[in-house]
Amino acid sequence: MRSSSLARTLCRFAAVAVTTVSLGGCSLFGINFGMAQLSEKECMMRAMYFESNRSSAEGMLAVGTVVMNRVNDPRYPKSVCGVVGQKNQFAQGVLTRKMTDSGAVLAAQVADQVLRGARHPGVRNAQHFHTAGLRFPYNNMYYVLEAGGNEFYEKRRPGTF
């Protein structure tokens, strides 16, 4: 009897632990949310907040434009959260780290604009960016803009401009 009681207790503990871990995944303004509960706006805010170094509305708008360019491309997920949550595409922990400063307020404002259709005109069709100042030997990527501490690139066939 003791072993079955111990087994039940261990099962309850495991269930509580799994539930706690799954619900503690994301935070917005320091409040934890389960990842399934993130809205498109929250995912957009997080991408802009963590990728633009909270430097400027222009930098955030450029990052948001890249996210929307990907959403509109059949090679990528069809939602903002799907795009932002893709493995190895955005800053590590983009959907789980805390947003702790006033940059979150600016990110919320710019996210609203992007989700209502605002785009950075200089980004054009870019779907890729990296920290400004880094150089990679791309033969099919073309620089289009520097904004918010990032350089933005369009993928094109070699020889086309």
- 7-26 pLDDT, tens digit each: 454 445 444 333 333 333 34
In 10 A of CB 48, how many CB atoms? 30
Q: Considering the domain boundaries, does residue 90 fall inside one?
A: yes
Q: What is the CATH number of the domain that holds 78?
A: 1.10.10.2520
- Give domain status of residue 24, yes or no: no
Stretch (H or E) spanning 130: strand 128-131
**Count of the separate structural domains present in the chain:** 1
pTM: 0.75
Give the range of the structural domain holding residue 112, as residue numbers without chain letter: 39-155
Q: Give the pLDDT score at 63.
A: 97
- Is residue 112 a part of any domain in this protein? yes
Spatial separation of the C-alpha atoms in residues 68 and 121, rounded to whole Å: 13
Residue 55 lies in a domain: yes
Task: Read off the pLDDT of each residue in 55-77 and give the average, rounded to a whole number.
Answer: 96
